[in-house]
Structure 1
Amino acid sequence: MTRPLPTIHQITDEESGPFQRQHLDLEFSNGERRRFERLVSRGHGAVVVVPMLDDQTVLLVREYAAGVHRYELGLVKGRIDAGETPEQAADRELKEEAGYGARRLDVLRAMTLAPTYMSHLSHLVVARDLYPERLVGDEPEELEVVPWKIAELDRLMLREDFSEGRSLAALFIARQWLERGE
């Protein structure tokens, strides 16, 4: 069933770091009125990179995760800078975080984090035909690069130090896409 979008009667903006917080006064098609909050990204989105060292091996990185105060294993990821395409951002982040560039970059799709209250988009990029190249990034320490067999995602998905949802989703989507021989 397709419903009409709620009518927005008023939007009130509030400054909140890298996001803009908005309060929406909404009226739904059934006449109900509610106030919702959303975070609107100020940037140009982000990339989540699945770097394939070879047909069977993905490169993961281990970095400090302040939100959970531990070192977390995950994919290369970062923001898209002004004027960059997702492919350019993915290649730059891959060089900064893992020390590799990619000759082939395929954007598979955009993913949301929490679409009920955030506008942020992350573009899933598969990077192949890798070559060594390092750029200086904004990380406070060099990240550990961990090769992982993509056939062993079942072992990875239950590790306590691999919990980031974008990395989990991206690996399963990329594996299916690669198995189709794209």
Structure 2
Amino acid sequence: MARKPVPEILQRQIVARSRLLRIEAVDLRFSNGVERQFERMQSSGRGAVMVVPFIDDETLMLVREYAAGLHNYQLGFPKGLIDPGETPEQAANRELKEEIGFGAQELIPLKSVTMAPQFFAATMHIFIARGLYPEQLEGDEPEPLEQVPWLLSKAEALLEQEDFTEARSIAALLMTLRELQR
């Protein structure tokens, strides 16, 4: 099947800006001649990482941290933005050190995923981390994160946890389970 050409960008304009976010209006012309304006969040272009850390062959480490969007605490895997000049692997190892106090001898890439690609140009690289060793870096969180060890054999119960709702964490868990079955 032939690929459709992407719409032509006629004009781009920043319509809202905050300390963290920029919203861009994009005027487009589609291949059938129809013109529309879309709004999207501008990306830093660096992306983010999420890591599924194994503290041993049977135990994952999760973190519980405040989620401002939901105004509650959520359980998930260590994650964060890629800093300028970092590779995704370097960022994954740094985030582990900041959030759970461990580095990883081995990072296994699972998949790069997007979230709401109709509105965001953001990519998250998901890794499995093995061979953890103690090393702590200071993070940017306003309070220490609660570390929550979880037995892999209880993965179904994790999916039922009331505070384990982030789609990327759920996807990371399911991809990890699939990878382990290979």
Give me the TM-score of the superposition, normalised by structure 1: 0.92
Aligned to 1:134: 136
State the shift of 1:43 in Å.
5.0
Once the two structures are superposed, residues 72-114 of structure 1 have per-residue CA deviations (whole angstroms, 9 ceiling, x without a partner) of 1110001111111111111111111111111111222211111
Aligned to 1:163: 165
Give yes or no for the alignment of 1:119 onto 2:117: no
Alignment of 1:1-182 (within 5 A): 1=1, 2-17=3-18, 18-42=20-44, 44-180=46-182
In structure 2, what residue type is equivalent to 1:27?
R
Gaps of 5+ in 1: none
Partner Cα separation in structure 1 for residue 123 and residue 67 of structure 2: 20
Aligned length: 180
Answer yes or no: is the 8 Å Cα contact 1:19–1:42 preserved in 2.
Answer: no
Partner Cα separation in structure 2 for residue 125 and residue 175 of structure 1: 13
Partner Cα separation in structure 2 for residue 117 and residue 70 of structure 1: 24
Partner Cα separation in structure 2 for residue 82 and residue 102 of structure 1: 21
Match of 1:157, SS state, is: helix
Give me the TM-score of the superposition, normalised by structure 2: 0.92
Partner Cα separation in structure 1 for residue 15 and residue 122 of structure 2: 17
State the shift of 1:16 in Å.
2.0
Partner Cα separation in structure 2 for residue 31 and residue 55 of structure 1: 56
Identity %: 52
Gaps of 5+ in 2: none
Once the two structures are superposed, residues 32-83 of structure 1 have per-residue CA deviations (whole angstroms, 9 ceiling, x without a partner) of 2111111121251110011011222111011111211111111000111111
In structure 2, what residue type is equivalent to 1:31?
G
Partner Cα separation in structure 1 for residue 5 and residue 35 of structure 2: 14
In structure 2, what residue type is equivalent to 1:12?
Q
Question: For structure 1, which segment, 11-20 or 76-85, has the greater mean C-alpha deviation from structure 2 after superposition?
Answer: 11-20
In structure 2, what residue type is equivalent to 1:5?
V
